[in-house]
């Protein structure tokens, strides 16, 4: 694992930390590759929930501008494609990923958070897509994931103005789910991850897949996806265990089988 991306585990819960605090955790190809490698390691370990956060006072303050300044169009395309590929990998994992936004989440940092299943933020967090201040646009999925999170009109305002918003405003518009005092952020997110990790992992994976895929489908087709996934759960040992445990009034012991 690269030293710019740290991955730790406590039982089935992983914590991925972007570790460039001297650069406010700015994203460059090494960081993005490190995230991709960490996701592969999580799959191998059977991770049931992953928390993504940043070292120091930032979540991720953006993409590395020094690395981008002299890029030619084809180099910029390659960099954007890498960012999109990692975002897609995050969305495609069978386990949920929660962003714990501890500080600045701007540009690529906001995009990284939106590639997570959902986000919680510190009261000190600042979020935004300020790329137009540099005469470019979001390049890691920001224009598309943002409108799906907050609606087209709000996404346009945030992208066109490049303004930063605080955590409470981000919660109001649906960009983050909840806001915590700085010292309470990781305990709160860890508690959520522990709750998720106790559920049937194959059911969680199916729910994640159907929600992601169905969001861009017409309702009848999306509902058909749900029916298929629901039926598929009944092929699993976890479904038998979960329903038996409910009827026997005991805690279920899910194996992911």
In a domain, 257, yes or no: no
Q: Could you tell me if 45 and 69 lie in one domain?
A: yes
Residue 242: CATH number of its domain: 1.10.12
Model pLDDT, residue 189: 98
Q: Could you tell me if 169 and 60 lie in one domain?
A: yes
Query: Taking the model in full, what pTM does it have?
Result: 0.95
In a domain, 252, yes or no: no
CA 56 to the chain's CA centroid: 19
Q: Could you tell me if 178 and 151 lie in one domain?
A: yes
Q: Could you tell me if 172 and 221 lie in one domain?
A: no
pLDDT-based confidence at residue 2 (cuts at 50, 70, 90): confident
Q: Could you tell me if 169 and 78 lie in one domain?
A: yes
Q: Could you tell me if 88 and 193 lie in one domain?
A: yes
CA 200 to the chain's CA centroid: 20
In a domain, 25, yes or no: yes
Q: Could you tell me if 74 and 181 lie in one domain?
A: yes
Q: Could you tell me if 132 and 206 lie in one domain?
A: no
Per residue in 24-63, pLDDT (tens digit) is 999 999 999 999 999 999 999 999 999 999 999 999 998 8
In a domain, 192, yes or no: yes
Per residue in 198-226, pLDDT (tens digit) is 999 999 999 999 999 999 999 999 999 99
Q: Could you tell me if 80 and 158 lie in one domain?
A: yes
Per residue in 58-116, pLDDT (tens digit) is 999 988 898 899 999 999 999 999 999 999 999 999 999 999 999 999 999 999 999 99
How large is the average pLDDT for residues 242-256? 95
* Total tally of structural domains belonging to the chain: 2
Neighbour count for residue 222 (Cβ, 10 Å):
15
Q: Which domain holds residue 25?
A: 5-197
Q: Could you tell me if 175 and 224 lie in one domain?
A: no
Q: Could you tell me if 89 and 215 lie in one domain?
A: no
pLDDT at 191 over 70: yes
In a domain, 255, yes or no: no
CA 244 to the chain's CA centroid: 33
Model pLDDT, residue 63: 86
pLDDT at 231 over 70: yes
Q: Could you identify the residue written with the tokens 């120091």?
A: 56
Angle, nearest 10°, between helix axes 142-150 and 152-161?
A: 130
Residue 41: CATH number of its domain: 3.90.226.10
The residues that are catalytic are 111, 131
Q: Could you tell me if 121 and 231 lie in one domain?
A: no
pLDDT at 1 over 60: no
Query: Three-state SS string across the chain, please?
Result: CCCCEEEEEECCEEEEEECCHHHCCCECHHHHHHHHHHHHHHHHHCCCEEEEEECCCEEECCECHHHHCCCCHHHHHHHHHHHHHHHHHHHHCCCCEEEEECCEEECHHHHHHHHCCEEEEECCCEEECCHHHHCCCCCCCHHHHHHHHHCHHHHHHHHHHCCCEEHHHHHHCCCCCEEECHHHHHHHHHHHHHHHHCCCHHHHHHHHHHHHHHCCCCHHHHHHHHHHHHHHHCCCHHHHHHHHHHHCCCCCCCCCC
pLDDT at 8 over 70: yes
């Amino acid at each position: 694992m690269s030293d710019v991306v740290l991955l730790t585990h406590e039982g089935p819960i992983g914590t991925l930390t972007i570790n460039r605090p001297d650069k406010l955790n700015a994203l460059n190809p090494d960081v993005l590759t490190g995230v991709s490698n960490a996701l592969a390691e999580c799959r191998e370990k059977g991770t049931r929930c992953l928390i993504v956060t940043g070292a120091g006072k930032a979540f991720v303050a953006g993409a590395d501008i020094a690395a981008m300044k002299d890029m030619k169009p084809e180099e910029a395309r390659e960099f954007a494609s890498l960012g999109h590929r990692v975002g897609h990998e995050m969305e495609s994992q069978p386990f949920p990923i929660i962003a714990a936004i501890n500080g600045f989440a701007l540009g690529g940092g906001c995009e990284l958070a939106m590639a997570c299943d959902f986000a919680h933020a510190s009261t000190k967090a600042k979020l935004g897509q300020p790329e137009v201040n540099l005469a470019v646009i979001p390049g890691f999925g920001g224009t598309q994931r943002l409108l799906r999170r907050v609606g087209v009109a709000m996404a346009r305002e945030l992208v066109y103005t490049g303004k930063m918003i605080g955590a409470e405003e981000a919660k109001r518009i649906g960009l983050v789910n909840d806001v915590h005092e700085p010292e309470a952020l990781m305990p709160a997110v860890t508690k959520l991850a522990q709750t998720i990790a106790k559920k049937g992992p194959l059911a969680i994976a199916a729910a994640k897949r159907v929600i992601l895929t169905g969001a861009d489908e017409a309702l009848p087709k999306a509902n058909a996806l749900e029916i298929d996934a629901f039926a598929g759960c009944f092929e699993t040992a976890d479904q038998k265990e979960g329903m038996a445990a409910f009827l026997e009034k005991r805690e279920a012991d899910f194996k992911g089988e």
